[in-house]
Amino acid sequence: MPAIILILFFLYMSAHSFEIITNYPLPRNNIKEVYELTEDKKLIIDLLKRTGDFEEIHFTDETLYLTRKPYLKKVIITGKFSFWKKEIKAVAGLVEGFPIDIQSIHNIPVRLKQFYMDRGYPYAKIDIHFHIDEEGNGILYLNIDEGKFYKIKKVNIFYRESVSESLKEKISDLLDLEGEDFSLNKIQEKIDSIEDFLTGMDYYDALVNILSITPDNGDITLNILVDTGYRYRIIFEGNRYIPEYKLKKALTFYEEGVNFYQIGVSVENLEKLYRNAGFLDVEIIPQFKEDVLRKESIIKFVINEGERYLIEDIDLETDIDDLEKKLGKYIGLPYRKDEIRNFLAGYIEKYYQMGYLNYSLSIDEILNKEEKTVYLQISAFKGKQFILTDFKVEGYSWKGRKPEIPSPYNPEKVISIMDEIREYLKDRGYIDAQTELDAQFKETEKKIDVSVKISVKKGEPYINKTAFLYGTKHLNLKAVKRNLSQKKVFTVEEFDNELDFLYRTYLFSSITPYYNVNRKEKYVTKAFILREEKRGLFQGILGYNTDQKLKVATSIILKNLFNYGFETSAYIEKSDIRTNYSVSFGSRILPKRTSGFITFLKSYQYHKLYDLNIEGIQIQVSRRNNRWVKNSFYIERVYNRLTDQNNYAKKNFSTGKIGYRLLDDHRKPKQNPSSGYIFSLGITKELLDVEYLRFLTSFRYYRPFYFLVFTQKFSFGYTLRNLDKLPLSERFFLGGLGNFRGFGYEEVGGELKKGGKSMFLINNDIRFPVFQPFNLYGFIFFDAGNVYEDDKKLRKLYLRKTTGAGIYIPTPVGSFIFDIAYKLDKKAGEYPYRIEFSIGIQF
């Protein structure tokens, strides 16, 4: 009997268990886990739609049916083509590793042919074949025969109607394409410019088209048809005050074409133009006539301007002291209605910002048609000033922005604080948070006191239910999940921290974040839709600067190994001052947002006073607390060999370092920052043959001021050890484009020029745009700093000083910097100035 019950229970559970049926295998996901936890079918459908992977999604009982789009595994481009494959893929909209819509494949030849026609290849042939395997991975074969490259040899212009020789000459000048590379886009731009020109010449119905394109052995003959249509002669009759060019601007024919409705709209615009200039009795009558023989239409506006009305007097009722004097200048002048209204509106708005909320404004006109004058009755009262005397937030201890007490009461500022409180609470899991405003007003003889109370209703915090993960092929989703927050309450801040960490693993080509809010049951389901980056990567840097001269660096990286995100890399760097080699192994996606690497390194360094050969091993573990803060611990064991130096007894010595680094990066944006700060702190304990404790810290902040950005950096380093116990390689030196501008590499070495046990440096910059279309910026700077052999010299804080100016171009893949720096305290034997230059390209 128990066995029968067990079998029946198993059959019942099998019949009611969740099942996924799909046409192709799915990438790694936790759909079943999320469904079993939430039992929410609508949620699952919503999450799967956001992946972009599926053509159809539907449930039947406990079975989920999915029709997955094929993945574009690879694009193979063959044939005759002269453009980069990356560029061709981008134009075609092909991204390897992403789902592809079968219908979109049919549009690829059209896109590519358009691309080629704009670049001199009007007869490119495109063949496409798409093969899908059983697992839904597709290979797209793209064969391109771009054909010959063509130039435009001749342009023939044909006219449907006869036009003057002068007009033909102007059109020919605009269509100056002979001798240029064939480009359909450029031809169309020329056609548009001709149509604009003809419209400006009152040919409002003009059309210009390509009649034909005739190839001839690498040359193109372009035939253009110009249909000017009727010319519209615009005649203004009776206008004395407003010149014709201003009247034409009020017409709508240029933008909308000519029809009876637009003629009516143009009449309204013209009358408004006149009335705003004081011609209140203006009358405008349109007349339309066609001359078939001359192929022109005549639109005449007969204008009866009438006399211009003057402001006879202004009867002003106001409590604004200087308003009567300011309005007095209008008396006796022509009545410009809009000008007076705009002046008064701007004046009242100024008082509104000062807390005069009960302002009132009215303008009445009394016209004297016989005398052609206007008598204005203006009422403008600012009323009593509203003063904020008390501000409270109840229901929550708000530590954020608050208005000054007392200050002019500004309702918009109070509402913005309410919104800020509500958004702050929502970001911390109180998604239903509400704020209510209670403003009490107490009128006194001269002002109105305002007491504001904001009541906050937080509601319940939303539960961090689970995370939907989808999309990886190699990476086990456990490696992602163990880096997601396990806190009970969901917060947007923590969600952003998780997203930032996943990006910094460099394992994914794209991440689509999303969170679904279940307001009924008060929980949140997070979602991260992942697309993996290629597992093999080659990177390089090519650059030049005045310190290192030519610099070349390359790295080969194999990542996303062993299904848990491990990676190994080899790095080589070569410049005039160093040659570095390293091999690393580790992972950027260890639990708790941690990364760890073991690195074997070898380096040949050429310094100003010595040469150094090192080889050793380093183990480093880093953890990101959030988007801004990173903590690192490292252990290093290195064998050092000093050569070409006479300042330290030991030429061969071993060092063992235990260190800690803190980085707090709040710069906004990261590239070319204009606000925020960056702080770093390093503590190193040196063991073995050399012993010391060292502190190294820096702080830079950015402050915007109009179009300028002021930035200042403080750097300080200190070693707890006498200088004679420190090898040259463990001492401080300054100089170079990266730290102390105006001095060469390691040129600042203290009073004895042999390095120091401490250093201090201040960099001050004012940055400003020079030519933003090319992302070109300029800067002026002042640097002050030095290195110190002992504590006594550090306390005196004698500083070397430099100043200068330069330009720079920041880009995501490299930068360009050029500056000229001058020494303000030049010493004997030193150059008074230094030209510094740096350029780098990452590939």
φ and ψ at residue 218, rounded to 5 degrees: 90, -5
pLDDT value, residue 315: 94
d(CA 264, CA 621): 76
H or E segment to which residue 353 belongs? helix 337-353
394 lies in some domain: yes
Q: Is 746 left (phi over 0), alpha (psi -120 to 50) or beta?
A: left
Question: CA-to-CA distance for 173 and 440, rounded, in angstroms?
Answer: 72
| DSSP 8-state class, residue 272 | H
Summarised one tens digit per residue, pLDDT across range 132-176 is: 999 999 999 999 999 999 999 999 999 988 888 999 999 999 999
Phi, psi of 403, deg, nearest 5: -75, 155
Is residue 363 domain-shared with residue 393, that is, in the same domain? no
The pLDDT score that the predictor gives to residue 10 is: 46
Whether residue 480 is contained in a domain is answered as no
Residues 376 and 255 in one domain: no
Whether the Cβ atoms of residue 493 and residue 427 lie closer than 8 Å to each other: yes
Please tell me whether residues 369 and 252 are part of one structural domain. Answer: no
Alpha-carbon span 730 to 691, nearest angstrom = 10
Residues 103-117: b if buried by 16+ CB within 10 A, e if exposed: eebeebbebbbebbb
Closest to 485 measured CA to CA, from 460, 470, 467, 504: 467
Q: What is the pLDDT of residue 15?
A: 46
Domain endpoint, select from 122, 145, 168:
145
Q: Does residue 276 sit within a domain?
A: yes
Choose among 461, 455, 453, 454: nearest CA to 432. Answer: 461
Residues found in the chain: 843
Phi-psi region of 593 (alpha: psi -120 to 50; beta: other; left: phi over 0): left
In this structure, the answer to whether residues 747 and 678 fall within a common structural domain is yes
Statement to judge: residues 409 and 428 lie in one domain? yes
Q: Apex CA 43: angle with CA 37 and CA 44, to 5°?
A: 80
3-state secondary structure of 495: helix
End residue of a domain, out of 210, 227, 244:
227
The pLDDT, as a whole number, for residue 16 is 54
Predicted local distance difference test score (pLDDT) of residue 8: 45
Q: 831 in a domain, yes or no?
A: yes
3-class state of residue 121 by DSSP:
coil
The beta-strand segments (E) located in 251-371 are: 283-291, 296-304, 310-318, 360-368
Token pair of 55 as six digits? 């053509």
Q: Are residues 246 and 363 in the same domain?
A: no
For residue 362, the one-letter residue type is: S
CB-facing half-sphere around the CA of 734: CA atoms within 13 A: 29
Q: Mark whether 733 and 595 lie in a shared domain.
A: yes
Q: Are 219 and 189 within 8 A, CB to CB?
A: no
Residue 316 belongs to some domain of the structure: no
Beta bridge partner(s), residue 285: 302
pTM score, whole prediction: 0.84
Could you tell me if 668 and 763 lie in one domain? yes
pLDDT of amino acid 257: 86
Do 770 and 674 have their domain in common? yes
User: Whole domain around residue 680: which residue ranges?
Assistant: 536-842
Q: Looking at the structure, do residues 562 and 616 belong to the same domain, yes or no?
A: yes
Q: What is the dihedral of CA 701, 705, 709, 714, to 10 degrees?
A: -30
- 304/246 Cα distance (integer angstroms): 17
In this prediction, the residues of the chain whose per-residue pLDDT falls under 70 are: 1-16, 646-649, 813, 841-843
Cβ distance 509 to 70 under 8 Å?
no
Neighbours of 737 (CB within 10 A): 23
Give the DSSP H or E segment for 324. helix 323-328
Let me know: does 454 contact 421? Beta carbons within 8 Å. Answer: yes
Q: Which residue has the tokens 């793209």?
A: 142
Same domain, 201 and 243: no
The total number of structural domains in the chain stands at: 6
Q: Are 741 and 783 in contact (CB under 8 A)?
A: yes
Strand segments (E) across 459-593: 463-472, 508-518, 523-532, 536-545, 549-561, 566-574, 578-590
Q: What span, in angstroms and rounded, lies between the C-alpha atoms of 327 and 378?
A: 10
Residue 517 lies in a domain: no
Q: Does residue 2 belong to any structural domain of this protein? A: no
In a domain, 60, yes or no: no
- Token pair of 545 as six digits: 């600067």
What is the C-alpha to C-alpha distance for residues 769 and 672, in angstroms, rounded to an integer?
A: 11
Beta bridge mates, 721:
none
CATH number at residue 450: 3.10.20.310
Instruction: Among 381, 401, 419, identify where a domain stops.
Output: 381
Secondary structure class of 752 (helix, strand, coil): coil
- Hey, is 269 helix, strand or coil? helix
Same domain, 347 and 426: no
Rounded CA-CA distance 798/784 in Å is 9
